[in-house]
């Protein structure tokens, strides 16, 4: 079984490396241009032992699917939690191996990070993520060719309520989200803090009341 998995991983890496080095013009996405009232909720940095379960519970209760950009080292640490995210129908993206700033890494270091992290995702979850979100949202132009070979999209965001900021609170998060909310928005949150957890039910409830529906990134792109 391990031999078969290794063969599939090597096959994936080989054919991915054979793709054109020319970057797709729409490789990086921050929001989708649409008139339809659809938005994507995305969560970074998990899986998190303390908060991810609570995020999943809120999403389950409200029948919302989201996209989780997981850090591979956290997937190794909490594989059952990562598997639960997938089992509940949420989409999983790659958020790097160790959460290093890609803009400060050499091209070889970025390639190594991508290959190891993608291998971990395959080993623990059975598939290679199609979407990548760079740590801190930072990239160098030399990163693009590498990432273009292994991912369909580099995903950033159009709404960042900075839920990670220790000075923020639920009302600040809500104000930022609904000040900028529009069809095709991509909202970035983190499943590693209590403030985001407090704001999430209200974000979902109010957005639905305004006529929006939530999609995974793949659903939004399609």
The catalytic residues are: 44, 190
d(CA 73, CA 64): 26
d(CA 8, CA 19): 17
d(CA 158, CA 180): 8
Write down the residue that tokens 């996405």 correspond to.
29
Beta partners for residue 38, in sequence order: 213
d(CA 17, CA 97): 19
Token pair listed for 29 = 């996405």
CB contact set of 180 (below 8 Å; sequence gap of 6+): 158, 159
Closest CA to 177 of 153, 195, 155: 195
Closest CA to 65 of 193, 222, 218: 218
Paired sense of beta strands 153-155 and 131-132, if any: parallel
CB contact set of 69 (below 8 Å; sequence gap of 6+): 42, 43, 44, 45, 92, 93, 94, 95, 131, 133, 155
Token pair listed for 186 = 């991509």
């Amino acid at each position: 079984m391990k031999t078969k998995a290794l063969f599939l991983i090597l096959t994936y890496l080989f054919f991915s490396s054979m793709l054109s080095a020319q970057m797709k013009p729409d490789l990086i996405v921050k929001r989708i241009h649409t008139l339809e009232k659809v938005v994507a909720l995305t969560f970074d940095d998990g899986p998190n032992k303390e908060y991810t379960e609570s995020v999943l519970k809120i999403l389950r209760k409200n029948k919302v699917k989201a996209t989780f950009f997981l850090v591979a080292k956290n997937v190794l640490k909490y594989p059952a939690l990562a598997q639960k995210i997938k089992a509940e129908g949420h989409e999983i993206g790659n958020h790097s191996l160790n959460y290093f700033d890609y803009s400060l890494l050499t091209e070889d270091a970025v390639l190594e990070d991508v290959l190891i992290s993608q291998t971990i995702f395959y080993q623990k979850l059975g598939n290679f993520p199609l979407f990548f979100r760079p740590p801190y949202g930072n990239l160098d132009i030399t990163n693009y060719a590498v990432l273009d070979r292994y991912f369909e999209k580099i995903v950033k965001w159009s709404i960042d309520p900075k839920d990670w900021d220790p000075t923020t609170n639920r009302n600040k998060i809500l104000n930022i989200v609904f000040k900028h909310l529009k069809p095709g928005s991509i909202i970035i949150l983190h499943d590693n803090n209590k403030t985001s957890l407090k704001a999430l039910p209200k974000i979902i409830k109010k957005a639905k009341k305004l006529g929006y529906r939530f999609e995974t990134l793949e659903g939004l792109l399609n």
